[in-house]
């Protein structure tokens, strides 16, 4: 089955003071980027904004105009600092309405009235929005091209998994990677020549320093397998010519 | 010594395809956020953009207008995909010029002409910029309120460490954190009441699921220690009243 060669783009919007304070290490962006690429969607920008209405509304409106999809993480729980649903509704200029399907699920777990009232905050979805179903608990929602996911990694991962096959599919980016114990300075000119011969493949050079050795990982990313293999052969040959030993890395 | 009560803000701009592809897990944002807070600077937004000139130039110009400081990471090596210096120069509308101090350091390591030429790319700094010295190798630079750091974590960390005492200092945010094995729904209403009594402290609620137990970590962030302690006491009391056991967490 041949794949569409069109590019479908996405931005990730991470919402949460805890990421910007450095208290919590975000891992949702990397997970989403990998998963969305499997779905044929490329993440081309990411932002992290605090739990502040103006910051969220502005970012959502700017990103949804520029990218095919926007995926947000965080701020959809029942506490006072969970303002994502309110902000998405404001960004789209629609009211929040109680979604009866979510409300029904929430009512199944008996709770004192005060607790139920708080949990019912999670049933509010912007008018016109649909559900992102999650077998393990809270639901997310989407409206237009904006998909609103949880911040807790396990929950977010269940939500994005549930979207498989439900999003517009573009080309999938494949990659090759090879490492050499050579410096970037040593390889720079010939690497630039190889890049110039394959303008449709991104050739990235990532230096590292570990256990007293330095080296560079060269990553090729593109949608045509044959071109990737041809470029990889040239990169490997370059490493050999410069006195190094190419070590294949897991692509990804 | 009393601290200034003014807020000094920063944005972090992570430059690199490898972060957006999900291949590399960024850790620079969290490190910068923690370190800058020690310097009295608060990170209020972060962005990740690809190695694409237009994306970098636009982000730099937008962020430097909105925040006191911008810290970029990535793209300052000698290979073809290292375009950060060029983009910063373009954002400021100035040419790139060879910085003689960096050039001198680069010349100290003898290299074949081809390699030296590539390494000399790293001596180019936007006209009017200054150096961010790094005892371990490559230097960064700054121009206006934009500070350009390496992407490799060890190198980036050395660069930001070298800036201690050289940036405008605002208030430092302190925090308290306590965990309870209660659900967010259980605590939501009373937590909102506590937040309302301390409008100058951010009270964040972060649910987690680990080893079959769920719980919530409550994080208080603000600049006045006495207020933080007063709020912490109320949060702890709330947990006890709801039948839970407060467990103090490392602040951060």
ipTM confidence? 0.95
Residue A199 has pLDDT above 60, yes or no: yes
Q: Is A51 on the interface with B (CB under 8 A)?
A: yes
Cβ density class A171-181: b for 16+ within 10 Å, e for less? bebbbbbbbbe
Residue A230 has pLDDT above 50, yes or no: yes
Confidence of residue A1 (pLDDT cuts 50, 70, 90): very low
Residue A52 has pLDDT above 70, yes or no: yes
Q: Tokens for B89, please give them.
A: 């120069």
pLDDT single digits (tens) B33-51: 999 999 999 999 999 999 9
User: Between A84 and A133, whose confidence is greater?
Assistant: A84
Could you say which residues from 167 to 196 on chain B have a Cβ atom under 8 Å away from some Cβ of chain A? 173, 175, 177, 183-189, 191-192, 195
- Give the strand pairing for B213-222 and B202-210: antiparallel
Q: Is B81 on the interface with A (CB under 8 A)?
A: yes
CATH 3.40.640.10 is right for the domain spanning B9-162:
no
CA distance B217 to A213: 40
Contact B18, A29 (CB under 8 A): no
Residue A31 has pLDDT above 70, yes or no: yes
| Chain A interface, best mutation among B20, B111, B198, B250, by max A CB count within 10 A | B20
Q: List chain B residues with CB under 8 Å of A34.
A: 21-22
Supply φ then ψ for residue B81, to 5 degrees. -90, 5
Residue B252 has pLDDT above 80, yes or no: no
Q: Tokens for A56, please give them.
A: 């969220």
Residue B144 has, within 13 A of its CA and on its CB side, a CA count of 17
Residue A17 has pLDDT above 60, yes or no: yes
CA distance A173 to A179: 20
Q: Do B45 and A48 touch (CB under 8 A)?
A: yes
- Give the strand pairing for B69-73 and B146-149: parallel
Three-state secondary structure call for residue B4: coil
Measured CA angle at A50 (ends B235, B64), to 5 deg: 140
For A34, other C-beta atoms within 10 Å of its C-beta total 14
Q: Tokens for B58, please give them.
A: 């636009």
The H or E element spanning position A146 is strand A146-149
Q: List chain A residues with CB under 8 Å of B160.
A: none
Q: List chain B residues with CB under 8 Å of A79.
A: 184, 187-188, 191-192, 205
- Give the strand pairing for B130-132 and B174-180: unpaired
CA distance B228 to A67: 41
Residues 6+ apart with CB under 8 A from A108: none
Burial (CB count within 10 angstroms: exposed 0-12, middle 13-18, buried 19+), residue B1:
exposed
Q: Tokens for A187, please give them.
A: 């390889």
pLDDT single digits (tens) B162-189: 999 999 999 999 999 999 999 999 999 9
Give me the mean pLDDT over the B228-235 stretch: 98
Confidence of residue B209 (pLDDT cuts 50, 70, 90): confident
State the average pLDDT for chain A.
Answer: 94
Please give, rounded to a whole number of angstroms, the shortest distance from the CA of B31 to a CA of chain A: 7
Give me the mean pLDDT over the A195-218 stretch: 92
Confidence of residue A213 (pLDDT cuts 50, 70, 90): confident
Would you state the pLDDT for residue B155? 93
Would you state the pLDDT for residue A251? 59
At the topology level, CATH places domain A174-249 in Alpha-Beta Plaits (3.30.70)
Confidence of residue B1 (pLDDT cuts 50, 70, 90): very low
Contact B206, B216 (CB under 8 A): yes
Among candidates B101, B98, B100, which has minimal Cα distance to B85? B98
Residues 6+ apart with CB under 8 A from A96: A85, A86, A89, A124, A125, A126, A127
Q: Tokens for A122, please give them.
A: 């999670």
Four-CA torsion A230, A232, A236, A237, nearest 10 degrees:
20
Helices (H), chain A: 17-20, 28-38, 53-66, 84-92, 100-108, 113-120, 153-162, 184-197, 225-241
Residue B111 has pLDDT above 80, yes or no: yes
Would you state the pLDDT for residue A149? 98
The DSSP line for B233-247 is HHHHHHHHHTT---E
Q: List chain A residues with CB under 8 Å of B252.
A: 21-23
Contact A187, B79 (CB under 8 A): yes
Could you say which residues from 198 to 237 on chain A have a Cβ atom under 8 Å away from some Cβ of chain B? 202-209, 219, 221
Give the nearest partner residue to A115 out of B79, B186, B195, using CB atoms: B186
Q: List chain A residues with CB under 8 Å of B44.
A: 20, 50, 55
Q: Is B10 on the interface with A (CB under 8 A)?
A: no
Q: Do B46 and A209 touch (CB under 8 A)?
A: no
Please give, rounded to a whole number of angstroms, the shortest distance from the CA of B59 to a CA of chain A: 11
Would you state the pLDDT for residue A143? 98
C-alpha R_g of chain A: 22
Among candidates A147, A156, A129, which has minimal Cα distance to A24? A156
pLDDT single digits (tens) B48-100: 999 999 999 999 999 999 999 999 999 999 999 999 999 999 999 999 999 99
| Chain A interface, best mutation among B19, B80, B216, by max A CB count within 10 A | B80
User: Domain residues of chain B, as ranges?
Assistant: 9-162, 174-249
State the average pLDDT for chain B.
Answer: 94
Please give, rounded to a whole number of angstroms, the shortest distance from the CA of A8 to a CA of chain B: 14
Return the residue of B nearest to A122 by Cα.
Answer: B185
Q: Do B80 and A191 touch (CB under 8 A)?
A: yes
Q: Tokens for A86, please give them.
A: 């309110």
């Amino acid at each position: 089955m041949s794949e569409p060669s069109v590019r479908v783009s996405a931005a990730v919007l991470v919402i949460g003071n805890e990421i910007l304070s450095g208290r919590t290490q975000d891992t949702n962006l990397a997970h989403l980027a990998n998963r969305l690429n499997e779905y044929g969607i490329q993440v081309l920008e990411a932002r992290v904004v605090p739990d502040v209405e103006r910051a969220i509304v502005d970012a959502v409106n700017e990103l949804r105009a520029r990218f095919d999809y926007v995926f947000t993480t965080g701020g959809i729980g029942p506490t006072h600092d969970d303002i994502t649903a309110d902000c998405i509704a404001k960004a789209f200029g629609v009211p929040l309405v109680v979604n009866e399907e979510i409300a029904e699920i929430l009512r199944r777990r008996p709770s004192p009235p005060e607790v139920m009232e708080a949990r019912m905050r999670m049933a509010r979805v912007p008018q016109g929005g649909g559900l992102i179903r999650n077998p393990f608990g809270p639901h997310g929602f989407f409206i237009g091209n904006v998909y609103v996911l949880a911040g807790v990694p396990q929950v977010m991962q269940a939500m994005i998994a549930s979207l498989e096959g439900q999003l517009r599919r573009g080309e999938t980016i494949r990659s090759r990677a090879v490492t050499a114990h050579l410096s970037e300075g040593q390889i720079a000119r010939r690497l630039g020549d190889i890049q110039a011969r394959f303008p449709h493949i991104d050739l990235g050079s990532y230096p590292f320093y570990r256990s007293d050795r330095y080296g560079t990982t060269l990553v090729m990313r593109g949608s045509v397998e044959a071109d990737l293999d041809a470029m990889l052969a040239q990169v490997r040959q370059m490493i050999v010519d410069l006195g190094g030993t190419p070590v294949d890395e897991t692509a990804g």
